[in-house]
Structure 1
């Protein structure tokens, strides 16, 4: 089944409703990444597993450089380098593979799967993750593009503004580093620099796939925050934060400000709400609301699906995010859907 016409229908749903009757198989992903959901669906239709579909779907976004926030050539760090985070989770075995701040390797989601299938570890990071990938046969290549170089040059020309430092000297609000810690001074900033947190800079792909047999997999891929401090790893490759899958219950995947969201493990929390019988949309909302108790206007969203194919989504209303768009593909639906944020 393909999308009707060249542009998919968009269905607007209230933030509080159960979005659909259960249908399997199911592919759902964050943001309107049409080609990614189509690639995942086609993988299932050709006999691929739920894990295969997640890998191929997220990989499509990496190749397409979805909105510049997934894959190579986007969101450079303070040194001008693009690094990638990704994870994949097998809901049948609760195995996880993740990579954080991986360098020079374009296929982050595939490396994450290699971590899961060819090591006893759950997460590899930095240069060591890149070496692991090369040993697994992945090609080492430059992730920098003219676009990412231009973004970095413009940021430097503005005295490295905005950035993610606090309680340092020289004043990070007016100058570049290197910085040193300032003792006895506490920043009044509770969240993240507003200039860096918007709907165009956090379009991580999170994907959930349930095949006809009920096997569930979930995954994520992103190039992280623009102008992040080198070494930073966000929520995307962290099990329970970026995504979580349990084939006896369901799965969830997140997108948004990882440094805040990873403190609450929202994907795990949403799955646990579904384990207690909560419908997917409500489970997403409850996980979002839990974070809002501490960060009322944080930037973030969740997609949730239960083991029978019911699904839902929720988002936190914040500057630049009043509605959240996501993709759904099942035997009856091939739609870009929208929920109002809470």
Structure 2
């Protein structure tokens, strides 16, 4: 029996087709609505009333979600790993200099975005990781404290009682679909994906000033029950977020282990440079991933340096929020997902 794959469509169901007009400056735009609008409002207020720089605004917005524990996926007390520990990833980028600072698998320090900004401003490096990132943070005056809470500890214990399901182990023995290990690699294995990512509601935020400056940042506590030491796309420049004030910026959220293979935010900004609208730029970046991984959950929000904005997503209904100009409140936009291809057996 022959198998024929018929690709009926890879069309994005979206509105409006080319994106939304600029609301004016200053402007803040970021992934997700709900809890995440507090970040939009905090960053916008800093730009509008306090005369903050765009880097200040990004830091303030991200700090707001870190301290509010937005959706449990940002900040302390969320997404415990296999050892029941919460670790943090964050990145901040200056759209004028193209310099970024980031921390990955940061342990025992709560204000991850602020530590990332210290990497940006007080080193010539881009990324610090793990215990050495913690050491750097403490040297710069940050407090060493547990990132676990009673709720995150209970979450991890419940996961263990459920035989550690789901988890991210692959090609190991005993079977990770029914065991907590300890695991040993199998001699031969299937290199396919084992489990989709849980808890991927990353905050990625872009700030635009009337003077033309732009900055972007990302903060997250990563995937729940991740293998200790895992780093997702959030702190990777060009993946979790990216900005070039000459063109525009991008923020991303979703299945980070897959998304970082494509640098979707770098791609989206380069699409703007090639003349695409924000929505077209986002669509192209998403479709590049969907063609390889049809079931990926992803969301890309894009804004050009005029403040025109758009988004695309796959695997879920993606939302993003923005506020700019004379807007009295944050508006949330809802973006339907990409349609997947349909396979027919004949």
TM superposition score normalised by structure 2: 0.90
Aligned with 1:193 (options 178, 195, 212): 195
- Calculate the aligned-residue CA RMSD, in Å: 1.4
Query: CA–CA distance in 2 between the matches of 1:80 and 1:268?
Result: 33
Report the counterpart of residue 332 of structure 2 in structure 1. 336
The CA deviation at 1:20 is 1.7
1:139-158 matches, cutoff 5 A: 139-158=143-162
After TM superposition, the runs of 4+ consecutive aligned structure 1 residues lying more than 4 A away are: none
1:75 aligns with 2:76: no
The CA deviation at 1:185 is 2.1
Write the deviation string for residues 136-161 of structure 1: whole angstroms up to 9, x where unpaired.
Answer: 10011110001100111001101111
Report the counterpart of residue 216 of structure 1 in structure 2. 214
Q: Could you say what secondary structure the match of 1:59 adopts? A: helix
Against the structure 1 CA distance between its residues 260 and 213, is the aligned structure 2 distance closer, same or farther, given a 3 Å change threshold? Answer: same
The CA deviation at 1:23 is 2.3
Report the counterpart of residue 271 of structure 2 in structure 1. 273
1:94 aligns with 2:134: no
Report the counterpart of residue 246 of structure 2 in structure 1. 248
Report the counterpart of residue 114 of structure 1 in structure 2. 118
The CA deviation at 1:21 is 3.6
Query: CA–CA distance in 1 between the matches of 2:257 and 2:14?
Result: 29
Query: CA–CA distance in 2 between the matches of 1:75 and 1:303?
Result: 23
Report the counterpart of residue 7 of structure 1 in structure 2. none
1:61 aligns with 2:61: no
TM superposition score normalised by structure 1: 0.91
The CA deviation at 1:15 is 6.2
Aligned with 1:282 (options 264, 280, 283): 280
Against the structure 1 CA distance between its residues 250 and 315, is the aligned structure 2 distance closer, same or farther, given a 3 Å change threshold? Answer: same
The CA deviation at 1:202 is 1.1
| Unpaired segments ≥5 residues, structure 2 | 1-12, 339-346
- Which of these two proteins has the greater Rg computed from alpha carbons? 2
Report the counterpart of residue 343 of structure 2 in structure 1. none
Query: CA–CA distance in 1 between the matches of 2:166 and 2:283?
Result: 31
Query: CA–CA distance in 2 between the matches of 1:137 and 1:215?
Result: 28
How many residue pairs end up in the alignment?
A: 321
Query: CA–CA distance in 1 between the matches of 2:31 and 2:19?
Result: 17
The CA deviation at 1:25 is 1.7
Report the counterpart of residue 178 of structure 1 in structure 2. 182
Query: CA–CA distance in 2 between the matches of 1:340 and 1:205?
Result: 19
Report the counterpart of residue 42 of structure 1 in structure 2. 45
Q: Could you say what secondary structure the match of 2:25 adopts? A: coil
Report the counterpart of residue 5 of structure 1 in structure 2. none
Q: Give yes or no for contact 2:47–2:57 (8 Å, CA) kept in 1.
A: yes
Query: CA–CA distance in 2 between the matches of 1:300 and 1:58?
Result: 20
Query: CA–CA distance in 1 between the matches of 2:202 and 2:16?
Result: 21
Q: Could you say what secondary structure the match of 1:293 adopts? A: helix
Q: Could you say what secondary structure the match of 2:284 adopts? A: helix
The CA deviation at 1:332 is 4.2
Query: CA–CA distance in 1 between the matches of 2:230 and 2:189?
Result: 23
Q: Could you say what secondary structure the match of 1:36 adopts? A: helix
